[in-house]
Amino acid sequence: MMTIAVYAGSFDPVTAGHMSVVRQAARLFGHVVVVVAVNPDKESLLSADERVALLREAVAHHPNVTVARTQGLIVDFARDIGASVLLRGVRGAMDAQFETTLAQNNRALAPELSTLFLPAEAHLAEVSSSGLKARVARGEDVSAFCPPAVATKLRERLDPSLRSLP
């Protein structure tokens, strides 16, 4: 039986750190589903459709990785597709504390699901979606911190040098 793992997040936008987790997961599991978790109460820079499209492009070379989206609980999504593992990426101690609490909450809701923490590569530990957006807004190059299509999309939206003058 193939083990299905779910890696969920807002991915607004996907970063090189996220992709590090995806690469590790693709080696460990038969099928990895990267899920754009849509929170209607959270304001996102990119639409859910844009985030899904960027992720699909970024994972296209991994034959055992697919991308989906949900507005519901991740544990319900995981159950619906027959997953047995929830993946969480961690960058450091602050992430670990938050992620441990989330894993405990998920275990209370779905004890049959295991949570596995996968750290991003050390040089990506400080890369976050919000940090990526801030760098682009300052006009900085982010190509080392995200897939090329993400860098392009962020520059279109946020780079001050590309904004037209009033």
List pLDDT tens digits, range 69-91.
999 999 999 999 999 999 999 88
Active-site residue identified among 31, 129, 135, 153: 129
Q: What contacts 24+ positions apart, CB below 8 Å, involve 38-43? A: 38/10, 38/69, 38/70, 38/71, 39/10, 39/71, 40/71, 42/10
Q: Is 161 annotated as a binding residue?
A: no
Active-site residue identified among 20, 31, 51, 91: 91
Q: Residue 42: its pLDDT value, please?
A: 85
Pick the CATH number of 4-122 from 1.10.1740.10, 3.40.50.620, 3.90.1200.10, 3.20.20.70: 3.40.50.620
Q: Residue 160: its pLDDT value, please?
A: 65
Cβ burial, residue 94 (10 Å; 0-12/13-18/19+): exposed
> Hey, CA dihedral for 155, 35, 55, 119, is it positive or negative?
positive
Q: Where are the domains of the chain?
A: 4-122
User: What's the whole-model pTM score?
Assistant: 0.92
Helix (H) or strand (E) holding 27: helix 16-28
How far is Cα 67 from Cα 69, in angstroms, rounded to an integer? 7
